[in-house]
Amino acid sequence: MQEENNQVPGTEQPIYCWNYGAQSAYDRGAKPRRRRGALTFAIIMTVAFLVSFGVLIGVLVRFADQPALPDAEVVPSVISERVVYVREYDSESGVLTVPEIAEKVKPSVVGVKVMSATGMGVGTGFVIREDGYIATNYHVVEGALSVIVILYDGSEHQAEIVGGDALTDLAVLKIKGLNYPAVEFGDSSALLVGELVVAIGTPSGLELAGTVTDGIVSAIDRNVKIYDQTGVLTKRMTLIQTNANINPGNSGGPLINDRGQVIGITTLKITGNYTTSYEGLGFALPINGAREILTSIIETGSAGDGSSFATGRPVLGIKGGNVTRGQGYPAEGILVSEITPGYPVEHSGLQVGDIIVELNGIRVYTTADVNAITEDLNGGDLVTLVVNRNGREVTLELELGWE
């Protein structure tokens, strides 16, 4: 049999088509009935083809009648580089995405490298004025022999400690130069529980500088008690609680709202003890109160007269020790050995040699008992003391001091 060469005139490529057979049923000696069956099958297939073709034409016509979609940005299948654009605030909400927040604020965030007698430490800070003033935590620079600030571009600058305040845990640094990118401040009093916040800092070390974490405002006006290593209350603070990851090295960094505004300064987290660990319990100083302190430090070198979010621990203003009746004393309690000048107790009538046996109606035996009661009070509060003076009980009222 000669092979047919099916080609398109003027081309060298053949036309490929389906071929069900080259011979008819008669050529193979088949009966005419099979020819009718083949004819019937051909008719059915032709009808099926026409129906399918009609449906296809109908679908095409239907889509042709639809209005054209607006032009959309073509997204390449492979993205080699992403550019984040920070939107302006003249939009209806002014709300930014996390990448936009990071793009806006990161240039203002700095690493803080501190050399002290015990070695090197790392913290975070952020530019608050274009002329080189930087906010950070007091505990970051406490005891510093020298401070180096590392800017967003990686450049290092020797910093001067303008001043600091241990009570509010705030400090101000100054580097030489102008036109540094300062942050925009928000209103910490307008925060709502559950709203988005972003933290930017230097956790662990300088190699992780600029780390961005996000979370929500877990609580506002959270009362937090700060203790020293011996378990004695040192101060109480009213802070913003957040579940944004805050780790050692983040201290002094900004906590930012969804408009890219600083509403807090990250300062501490709850980590737990030997048997229990916690995650997502970070705290920040509210920026409204912090700005007052920072401004006072810049202008006067000190924190000023007080703070809206931190108070020193309340104290009686005495020195003493625990005694028992078996030691030859007339009562068991706290023997007053010294009354500290400058505290309100100096004018209360309390005397050296008195044994304190009761405070605000609660029997006390040790200084720890007194501390447990006073740590829930404030400086300036009035308390009632019952003392044993030469075997006789005397009731006194005095005002608590603070330190």
Query: Known catalytic residues?
Result: 139, 169, 251
User: Which of 128, 124, 116 is closest to 247 using CA atoms?
Assistant: 124
User: Which of 57, 34, 37 is closest to 45 using CA atoms?
Assistant: 37
User: Which of 126, 135, 130 is closest to 177 using CA atoms?
Assistant: 130
Annotate 303-360 with DSSP letters as a single string.
--S--SSEEEPEE--EEEEEE-GGGT-SSSEEEEEEE-TTSGGGGTT--TT-EEEEET
Give the C-alpha separation, 263 to 89, whole Å: 17
Give the C-alpha separation, 302 to 295, whole Å: 9
Q: Given CA atoms 128, 134, 139, 142 in this order, what sign does their dihedral have?
A: negative
Length of the chain: 403
The helix/strand/coil state of 245 is: coil
Give the C-alpha separation, 127 to 184, whole Å: 10
Tokens of 213: 């974490």
Give the C-alpha separation, 251 to 249, whole Å: 5
At which residue do the structure tokens 């995650």 appear?
279
Q: Given CA atoms 374, 380, 384, 388 in this order, what sign does their dihedral have?
A: positive
Beta-strand pair 310-312/233-242:
antiparallel
Tokens of 376: 């829930």
Beta bridge partners of 154: none
Give the C-alpha separation, 96 to 82, whole Å: 17
Q: Given CA atoms 114, 131, 167, 152 in this order, what sign does their dihedral have?
A: negative
Sorted by sequence, the CB contacts under 8 Å of residue 227 that are 6+ apart come out as 233, 234
Give the C-alpha separation, 374 to 318, whole Å: 13
